Each structure stands twice: as C-alpha cells, then as structure tokens.
Amino acid sequence: MDPARASLDRALHALAAIGPDLAGHANRIGAQLWSPPRIVIVGRLKAGKSTLVNALIGAPVAETAALEATHVVSVYQDGAPARAEAVLLDGTRRPIETVRGHVTTLPASADQVAYLQRWLPSAAIRDHTLIDTPGLATLTAENEARTHRVLIDGFEQTRTASVDADAAVFLFDSTPRADEIAFLKKLGFTPLTTLGVLSRADGFGEGALGVRDPLEHAAAHAAILAARMQDTVMTVLPVAGLLAETSHTGALTEADARALAALVGIEPFDLLDLLDSEAPDASVPVPPEVRGRLVDLLGEYGMIHGRAIAARGAAALNDWLVACSGVPQLRSVLAHHLGVFAGVQRAGRIIRELDLLAYSHPARDRIRGIVDQLRMDPALHTVVLFEHLQAMLDADPTSPVTSELRRLVEQPTAAGKLGLPPHATVDQVRAEAIQKRSWAHAQALSTMTAAEDAALVVLIRTYGLLAA
C-alpha cells in the first residue's frame, strides 16, 4: 500500500472508531480511497475520443462512427462479469443488456440518463477508470448540455448522478478553440491533472500525401502547443487513435496483411484514387470490399506506409502500428504522471470530505483532530501542496507562489522541487531551500489573497523540510 493511502486508511479507521454513524461515513469515504482514479476524455465532436477509449481498453466497446456517435457519458471500469447499468438523473440504476460488448437500447430516454456505467474485465483499466463523453459543440445542443450537466452541474449538485473525475484527457485535432479551453477551465482540473492529446496524428498537416510526414509534423506541433498551453495542460502528446484502436484491439488479421502487401508498388496518389472507387478492377489484386475494410482499419497513412511492412506478416504490421499510434507514450504518461496526480487529487478530495464532516458533526473536535493530523503527515505533504496549488490557480494563477507550488508538486526529487539541475549537490540543495524559505517569509509580509497567505505557510514549512 502506498504511504498516502495507508495514512488515509488509518484516519478512516480512527473516524469509524468514534461512533457507529461515523463508521458509515468512513465506509462511504473509504470506497473512494479504494477505487481507482477516474480519467475523463473530453473534446470536440469527432475528435476521436471513443476510438482512443477502445485503444486504451483493448476492445471495441465504445461506439465510434463518422456520424455523431456518443450520446451519453459512459464510465468504463474494471470488473467481472462484463455488464452495464444506466444511472438515471434521480440516482436510480437500471441494468442494460449488452450484445457482444455493445449497448443496444437504453432503459430510459437519453435525457433521463445521467451516465452509463460499464464493467469490463480488463487489466488496462485496473489502475484508472475511463469516462467517455459526448463531443463538445456538438451538432445537437442536447448532447453538449448532457456533458455539461454530468461534469459541471452534476459535479456540485447531484452526487449520485455526478461522475467525479480526478483528471482529464483533452483531445483536439488541430489548435484548440477558445470555447474548448473555456469549457476545460470550467471543469476545474489543474494543468497537472489535464493531458492534451493531438488526435488524428496520421492525418495531420497535409495528410498522408503531403511532403512532410504527418506523424513527425504532429509531434512537432504537439511540442509547440504544449509550450503555449502550459497553463492548461501538463503536456500535449500526438496520438493516431485509429492506428491505436486497430493495433490494440486485435482487429488485424493475417488476411488483412496479405491484402495490404498485395497493394505494394502502386503510387500513393493512385492508391488513394483506387480507395475512392467502388468498381472492381481486374488489374488490382484486392477487391473493393477488402480495400474498404483496410481503409477502415488503417486509414490512408496506414495503407500507404504499411504496405512494405505488411509483407512481413500481421504481427510485424501490428508492431509498426503500435509504434506509430503514440499509445505507448500516452500509457506511460497516464501511469507515471496523470494517473499519479489524479491519485493526489483523489486523496485531497477525501481530506475535504473529512473537513466537511468536521464542520457538521457533533464530534467535530475529534474529527478536526484527525484531519489536522492528516494535513501534517509527511506522507500527505504533496496532497496538501496540491490543495494549495488548486486554490492559487483560482485566486492568482500568475503569482510566483503558484509556480513554486506547481514545481514542488510536479518534481519528484529535492533538487527538482527547488528548480535546481538533477546533479545539484546536497549543499546546493540546502542553500537553495534556505534562500527560498527567506523569500517566502518576505512574501508573507504582503500577500494579495487569503489563498496566498495559507499557501505561504505551507511553502515555508516545505522549504524547511527540504533544507533539513
């Protein structure tokens, strides 16, 4: 068990020991402690959200289509047997039939459904639950309203119907629009709990026929966007969701590889022409319906550039698709960064739930004692810093206190937390910590907001710990 979780678990046991009604609260809050963080996938209509969800889960469970596909928020969590429930706006739950993993009919009209909960036995979602959402700025106004309701309105109001996400993956296929960024800000995530994804990397820029390789171009553009959007996202990763879905869900067959290999030697431009035509052509070894299947699986980029690799078989083609997809890098960021900060955010939420109890319950003094002890616990130091970072991002995002807090939370080593290079000596670390502590003391004499007041108290303590 990680130390932060162990401390929270101990606190919940102490809470339960106070009285029988508090045992109920401890169980309710403990359920959050033991469930994996929730990551919500948001973005423009048709950005490729559901395709990416399928790739990450490793099975084609979310509906994807060229027309608007996702109508209700869907929560995908690890669990057996595979099953689904609709959670209605009034909090009631209704089981839903699935046919080979697909939801066929809803048990109520879509505007009565808060979200769908799906359980799938999949190791890929053991560490974080994924939430697929309807596209933003959708063709139908109701869909956008539904995303707002579950993520924003529902967030504060109806606990039963709210989705309670801990982090977000924000998808866009070019430069994000101002209204999308504004929506994202409303969700209340921090840059540490928001990952940008430049989707459809295989069609980026001039696309498959362009002079510049779209994957390389997308990677370069993602780096530019990451620098420009650092107040909103931790980083931006290029992802080719279609190639990811095909290669991660086992869709590709040996027959597909053979058919693709047979198209080798055709000029790219002629190949795309051929893909557009339905007519059988005796000179082409691959019939139109197989060509159609290949485009659906691989897209234009995958077809043009995959042909030579396909000659080595489906496994080689699959490996190449995985490498092109950007999913290995995405998984790594999910595991080592976004997932970690989602866990920090989750721990903070648990502490705030305890705060609420301390305000409202007759045993408030003893509960307050438990919470105060938690906030001083070294295992939860990052969680406390993160709470202050959230408050400062609201109160004064450009304050130097905010950037100090962000670095302290984000960097794993003492040198990194102080903005020093990784090879800094112990003496350098101590000197810098002492200097920063003096700086924080000086800042505390003239603060601009209550949030800054509170944050500086914790900064001073943190630099003291680092100096020691």
Ligand X SMILES: Nc1nc2c(ncn2[C@@H]2O[C@H](COP(=O)(O)OP(=O)(O)OP(=O)(O)O)[C@@H](O)[C@H]2O)c(=O)[nH]1
Q: Which residues bind Mg ion (CB under 5 A)?
A: 49-50, 69-70
Q: Which does 37 bind (CB under 5 to 8 A by kind): ligand X, Mg ion, none?
A: none
CA 407 to chain centre: 20
Closest CB 227 distance from ligand X, rounded Å: 23
Q: Which does 417 bind (CB under 5 to 8 A by kind): ligand X, Mg ion, none?
A: none
Distance of alpha carbon 320 from alpha carbon 328, whole angstroms:
12
Closest CB 113 distance from Mg ion, rounded Å: 15
Q: Which two tokens stand for residue 116?
A: 């769908």
Interface with ligand X (CB under 6 A): 45-51, 64-66, 68-70, 134-135, 199-200, 202-203, 240-242, 299
Q: Which does 432 bind (CB under 5 to 8 A by kind): ligand X, Mg ion, none?
A: none
* 8 Å CB contact between 400 and 452: no
Q: Which residue is nearest to ligand X (CB)?
A: 135
Closest CB 120 distance from Mg ion, rounded Å: 17
Looking at beta carbons only, is 50 or 382 nearer to Mg ion? 50
Q: Which does 200 bind (CB under 5 to 8 A by kind): Mg ion, ligand X, none?
A: ligand X
- Report helix, strand or coil for 468: coil
Looking at beta carbons only, is 197 or 408 nearer to Mg ion? 197
Q: Which residues contact 213 (CB under 8 A, 6 or more apart)?
A: none
Per DSSP, 36 falls in state P
Distance of alpha carbon 349 from alpha carbon 197, whole angstroms:
26
Looking at beta carbons only, is 50 or 399 nearer to Mg ion? 50
Looking at beta carbons only, is 202 or 256 nearer to ligand X? 202
Closest CB 52 distance from ligand X, rounded Å: 7
- Report helix, strand or coil for 102: strand
Q: Which does 299 bind (CB under 5 to 8 A by kind): Mg ion, ligand X, none?
A: ligand X
Looking at beta carbons only, is 50 or 162 nearer to ligand X? 50
Distance of alpha carbon 115 from alpha carbon 93, whole angstroms:
10
Closest CB 49 distance from Mg ion, rounded Å: 5
The helix (run of H) or strand (run of E) holding residue 120 is strand 113-120
- Tell me whether strands 93-96 and 194-198 are parallel, antiparallel or unpaired: unpaired
Looking at beta carbons only, is 78 or 245 nearer to ligand X? 245
Distance of alpha carbon 362 from alpha carbon 343, whole angstroms:
30
Q: Which does 202 bind (CB under 5 to 8 A by kind): Mg ion, ligand X, none?
A: ligand X
Q: Which two tokens stand for residue 124?
A: 């890929």
Closest CB 407 distance from ligand X, rounded Å: 33
Distance of alpha carbon 465 from alpha carbon 433, whole angstroms:
9
Closest CB 303 distance from ligand X, rounded Å: 10
Looking at beta carbons only, is 52 or 184 nearer to Mg ion? 52
Q: Which residues contact 134 (CB under 8 A, 6 or more apart)?
A: 45, 68, 70, 71, 72, 73, 143, 144, 146, 147
Distance of alpha carbon 288 from alpha carbon 399, whole angstroms:
60
Q: Which does 203 bind (CB under 5 to 8 A by kind): Mg ion, ligand X, none?
A: ligand X
Q: Which does 462 bind (CB under 5 to 8 A by kind): ligand X, Mg ion, none?
A: none
Looking at beta carbons only, is 309 or 371 nearer to ligand X? 309
Distance of alpha carbon 242 from alpha carbon 371, whole angstroms:
47
Closest CB 146 distance from ligand X, rounded Å: 11
